[in-house]
Amino acid sequence: MKLKGTMTEQSYREELIASKSHLFNEISMCRFLNIIRETFPAVKTAYVLSWTPEQGEDIISFLVDTHSVIKIELDRYDKTLVPIVDVYPIENWMKGLSKTFQIKIAVAFDLAMNDLI
């Protein structure tokens, strides 16, 4: 998908940049970052694509570098429970997504590409 510089893209860009900063700099995100690093030891960058807070857990999807999406389901209260981790190639993750979400992923991919230069 080709980016056009729309307001929607700019809004996503700001949100995604903040999500990366939060992931790599906030103590509250260290469990997620540790799981990403365990799964992808050579990770250079990651962006939050979606965050679904459930009653007792958080389900967050991240674009990792430019190749994969990792979906992590993590219990919010019981740190002894093993997280549920699913990894998808970016191409598989894109199938069937709404146009709006495809734009968000395209912006995240663009940011990740720039991070890896």
pLDDT tens digits, one per residue of 44-76: 999 999 999 888 899 999 999 999 999 999 998
Q: Residue 39 above 90 pLDDT?
A: yes
**pTM to 2 decimals?**
0.92
Q: Mean pLDDT across the stretch 30-50?
A: 96
Q: What is the 3-state secondary structure (H, E, C) of the chain?
A: CCCCCCHHHHHHHHHHHHHHHHHHHCHHHHHHHHHHHHHCCCCCCEEEEEEEECCCEEEEEEEECCCEEEEEEEECCCCCCCCEEEEEEHHHHHCCCCHHHHHHHHHHHHHHHHHCC
Q: Quote the pLDDT of residue 84.
A: 96
Q: Residue 117 above 90 pLDDT?
A: no
Q: Residue 95 above 90 pLDDT?
A: no
pLDDT band at 26 (very low <50, low <70, confident <90, very high): very high
